[in-house]
Amino acid sequence: MIRYRTLVLNDLRQIRMDPLLMASLLGPLAVIAVTRFGFIPLSDWIERQYGFALAPYSGFAATFLLLTIPLLPGTMTGLLMLDERDENIMSYYSVTPLTRRGYSVYRLFLPTLLSVLLSAAFVLFSGITESRSENIYALTLLALEAPCIALFLAAFASNKVEGLALSKISGLLFAGPVVAAFIPEPWQYAGMWIPTFWPAKCYLLGVNQEPLAALGVFGVGLIFHLLLLTGLSRAFLKRID
């Protein structure tokens, strides 16, 4: 445990020294705070000014904002991994008692844990979500997205600069909730290759009180995410070998 504690402390030190990494960690907290204190006043203001009610779209808004949460710790971890790959530190970890496997597990566990905790905090404190058991499906899938994003950056970017450019592409993930919320069935299933489609769909089915359908979508989404994680892990290992 001591070794992991030191690794966490080292990560915190690195995050403190790098404003970008700091923003990735504080971002989700800012999302929660802004949603909590800004969404309802903004919704009221838009309704007064333009006669447009945002309230019926709060489910979509919740999924849209929720998915920023794994995106940020995932990107942060991906950038840390790129730094460690650039500086050849990964290869050194593989000849210590931590081993390459231990390093990878630690690196992917941390953003997963952060996603779980911060997504749960969003559901509990943002003030725009309903407390439903189906939320667990969405949170589980979102938690798996953080390591996927980290591995995607670490596997496909040649350096940190490319990593930053690739992290912009992950903005495409915002399409997931849009497809799940606005495109009618069955056409919306054309968007099933977007990872964020699955947690968004689970959440919205929960809001619509369709627990069985939410469970089915969760099952397929879980398989999709596990396959994605396996594929990205292989690509990452191939890259560092």
Query: What is the contact surface with other proteins in residues (CB under 8 A)?
Result: 2-3, 5-7, 10, 13-14, 17-18, 87-89, 91-99, 102
What sections of the chain are H helices per DSSP? 2-17, 19-50, 58-66, 68-86, 89-93, 99-125, 135-156, 160-169, 175-182, 197-207, 211-240
Per DSSP, 95 falls in state T
- In the complex, what is the shortest distance from the CB of residue 235 to other proteins, in angstroms, rounded to a whole number? 15
CB contact set of 113 (below 8 Å; sequence gap of 6+)? none
Q: How far is the CB of 118 from other proteins (least distance, A)?
A: 25
SS3 string, 141-197, reads HHHHHHHHHHHHHHHHCCCHHHHHHHHHHHHHHHHHHHHHHHCCCCHHHHHCCCCCH
Which is nearer to other proteins, 14 or 68 (by Cβ)? 14
Output the smallest distance, CB 10 to other proteins, in A: 5
Residue 84 vs 134, nearer CB to other proteins: 84
Pick the closer one to other proteins by CB: 6 or 158.
6
CB of 95 to other proteins, least distance (A): 4
Closer residue to other proteins in complex, CB, 106/189: 106
